[in-house]
A and B are shown apart, each in its own frame.
Chain A
Amino acid sequence: MEPAERLDKNHELAVKDYPYIIRWRDDRCKRCGKCTAVCPMFSIEPSVIVQRELHSEGPTPEPKTVRRVTTIIKQTTEISKYCTGCGTCTLVCPNEAIEPEYNPQHKFTFHKNKGGHPYRRGGRRNDPTPSTLDTLRFSRISMLTDPALDAGRHEFRIRTYLGRILPAEELPVKVVKGKLEVDKKSGKFIPPVREIYPVMIGSMSIGALSPNMWEGLAMGVTYLNEVEGMPVVMCSGEGGMPQRLLKSRFMKYFIPQIASGYFGWDEIVRTIPHMVEDPCAIEIKYGQGAKPGDGGLLMAHKVLKLISEIRGVPMGVDLPSPPTHQTKYSIEEAVAKMIQSMSMAWGFRVPVYPKISGSHTAKAVLNNLVRNPYAAALSIDGDDGATGAAYNVSMDSMGHPIASNIRECYLDLVAQGKQNELPLIAAGGAGKKGNLAANAASLFMLGASCVSIGKYIMQAAAQCFGDEYNRCNVCNLGKCPRGITTQDPKLYRRLDPDKVAERVVEVYKSLDVELKKIFAPMGRSTELPIGMSDGISSVNPAVSERLKINFTC
């Protein structure tokens, strides 16, 4: 017997199966069509229906039935055109007639694998619960026992170091006439160290980001350095940097990243002789918190002219970076040789550090680096980090939270007395719920020397729609409705780089004030309270025990 599916649509999905349901109000809609035009997913379309209406026109009620053909806005149930809940339609609607509504009962992940292709997306882990960092409190307040500092009046120095720091015992200094002098003849290698603002903008590539977004961030960072005197630095992400920037004096604010695809590095290496400033540092990417063990991927539709030039590849081809550095077969090789060759490329004047994804094995990498005099830091990216493109399963189910990973690595260094020698950079999750200053301060107190942010700045500076309810998250498709992660000029021209830069500056200035507001009552102002673990507490005994911090209730 022929199944009845054609008639009862039994194999189709209902709107109720989708994560976002469009609430459209017939009475408010003036049929301008802006929403359907702007929807990046083509999830809504104009449609016509026949409506039965009751009319009465005379002085006394004489109801008559009329049938009218009207246009409506209809949500499609085709899974490739699912509504992401981005809300761009709401944004452009002149009459507040349309809005996506989250549907907690959705069954999206059951179905988003047509053709046997697992669900891929951008964004972050779809876990809306607060991270451990958000549950920590700063509970050590100096008050009457000692005068607390005044965030508005006292001088604060919120700075950190990026680079391998020699232990005092190994410094090539000697006493000459009652003063310390650097012993030039000692022949001792002194690793390069930068003094930077302790919250950096983490690796997001040109390619993943639109030119306008990247330019906005870069301008913001440069302004912070040149005008505000805040040495904020930014990592390029994989895929190189524009020649103009490579050859500029602003290069010292940037950290080019080399990853397993080595994209853009032919161009960078060829430019080295023409550089007027060394870069701040070099980041070698081994892993990413959002998708541990997975490589990068820049989809063909994002590889347009600018990207192909910067990366040194043809236009319109998929650019996959393998999950590992394929030419290296062991940690000794991968880490030691790469760090050494990158250091050598700049005459050992530039700090070179690896970035790995948060993992139980982070300590093994750490201990390898501790014994490598050229390793400048270790960046650990926790599972609340974000990405431009990854499998949903990697994002949602893989990885290690940053809080305990940083803590155990720091305590491992403490046990070896080397906590000041190899700075730890904490990434992946700072500012998940918007509490950047509090999260960053907690990470410092757990042992991080520096914090790296990505999606926070995308949200704060460019109003990225993404959240942990899988809102938007189509960064991988080149359809970014905000113009942040797309190479389509029609989309990215929506984004004004000047506005992004302005927001970057505002974000950092307010972050600075908030950090002072945290440090002042705790009596810290001269140095970053790295490892000041008595400053924080948790209301969860298991967390306090794991992080070796106070328990409060």
Chain B
Amino acid sequence: MCRLAAITSSDYFSPVENILALETMKEGHDGSGMGLILKGLGGEFEELKEYPVLSGICSKDGLKALDDYMNKLGFQLKYTWTPKTKPVTGIESRDYYFARVYDYPDVYKDRPVEDQEALLLNTRLALRRLGESDESIIIFTFYPDILALKEVGDPMQLGEFFGLDKSSLKAKIILAQGRQNTNYAINLYACHPFFIQGYGTMTNGENTAFIPIREFLSGRGFPGYIGYNSDSEVFCHILHYACKQLGYPLHYYKDIVTPLKAEEIDARPDSEAVRFLKMSLRPLCIDGPNCVIGFTPDGTCFMLQDAKKLRPGVVGGVKGKYGLMSEECGLDSAGSKRDRSTDVFPMKYDMVIVKPEAEEVTVWNQLSG
């Protein structure tokens, strides 16, 4: 089973904390890979928050093609971060791992945010296409204040490989996933966490409703709803679709992916609208078994379960720092002196919401709305 370790904090912290949590939760052999998505970047990035960060991996040729393309569009490179990799047995190093901060092309500098976001998305997709056939360019994210790092291998070894223990790389929200050892022939695009325009998620479990969901999302006419090398990427796109495209408050994500029964909806104060959502978004029901952990642009983090709750998941910590993990031992490793009795294990109707800056944990109950 994939292991999930998310931490949200009011202070910057190192991704090593997430990796240690993954290590605690590890069972048996696991070298399928790890993905990290950092939001609310600290260190060198702290002063560059309004500029988009391009995260990915390139070959030497790919880097040239990437530079040419970015120059052509008029993006100006402001800052480059690369991990100080060191050889680790079992990890096959690629040429160039990077997170590059760009300034927008001049014509886009004063354009509305929507236009800028569309530009970033289209650029990411174009770069992805450019290097997809020969894997010369792999792009994970291109968005302000977001950094992604993914590679095949054991999470602990990858931490060492990327030199994260000595790095100044820090953030306020970090999602980390260690892939389960049943996934072979790994394409890095299949590696969680996933991110699109401010929304990020990671999941464990198998998405049995993947095909109908993918077909539904692909039909929305939104260019970003592609990829789907993993059946879990749709969870992120559903979140984006619900909150950004349709403008629904976050908790309706729960109503969409795990819809209530008709009789249960009747008891909701917003029953009329929920009833419509259940019908209109019927193909987006996830049916599980899945535990979904994610964040939204304002820094809210959440965890929810499918309606059968066949996957573990727990949220706990102290004000100012909470962990959202697939197993309790992960919390033990990450959490400092938390009161374990306040840990929340979300049940089928629950959506655990951690406010921005890890301010507080609330549990939204779907039955009462």
Contact = CB atoms under 8 A, between A and B. Distances in A.
Interface stretch (A207-215, A293-301, A523-531): A523-531
Given A175-B248, A419-B215, A526-B259, A142 B273 contact: no
Contacts, number: 126
B259 A527 contact: yes
B220 A529 contact: no
Nearest to B290: A146
A409 to B, nearest CB: 14
B229 to A, nearest CB: 15
Contact of A175 (B209, B216, B247, B308): B247
B317 interface: no
A180 B277 contact: yes
B308 A529 contact: no
Contact of B269 (A179, A416, A531, A534): A179
B280 A171 contact: yes
Interface in A382-427: 414-420
Contacts of A195: 262
A190 B261 CA distance: 21
B211 A168 contact: no
A418 B219 CA distance: 8
A527 B219 CA distance: 20
A522 interface: yes
B216 A419 contact: yes
Contacts of B261: 157
Interface string A326-342: 00000000000000000
Contacts of B247: 175
B287 A525 contact: yes
Given A145-B182, A524-B287, A165 B209 contact: no
B118 interface: no
A417 B306 CA distance: 25
Interface string A148-178: 0100001101010100011111010101001
Nearest to B248: A180
A532 B220 contact: no
A146 B290 CA distance: 9
Binding site secondary structure of chain A: loop
A145 B180 CA distance: 10
A523 B276 contact: no
A281 to B, nearest CB: 15
Contacts of A417: 216, 218-221
Nearest to A195: B262
B246 interface: yes
B280 A532 contact: no
Given A157-B261, A531-B211, A165 B282 contact: yes
B276 A171 contact: yes
B348 to A, nearest CB: 9
30 contacts: A142-B208, A145-B206, A146-B208, A146-B289, A146-B310, A157-B261, A165-B279, A165-B280, A168-B280, A173-B277, A179-B249, A179-B269, A179-B369, A181-B270, A195-B262, A416-B219, A417-B221, A418-B219, A419-B283, A522-B208, A525-B307, A525-B308, A526-B259, A527-B209, A527-B259, A527-B282, A527-B283, A527-B287, A534-B210, A534-B211
Interface of A: 140, 142, 145-147, 149, 154-155, 157, 159, 161, 165-169, 171, 173, 175, 178-182, 190, 193, 195, 414-420, 522-527, 529-534
Interface of B: 182, 205-206, 208-212, 215-216, 218-221, 245-249, 252, 258-259, 261-262, 269-270, 272-274, 276-277, 279-283, 285, 287-289, 306-308, 310, 369
Given A146-B206, A171-B280, A527-B259, 15 more contacts: A145-B182, A161-B282, A166-B280, A173-B273, A190-B276, A193-B279, A414-B219, A415-B219, A416-B219, A417-B220, A418-B219, A420-B282, A524-B208, A526-B307, A529-B209
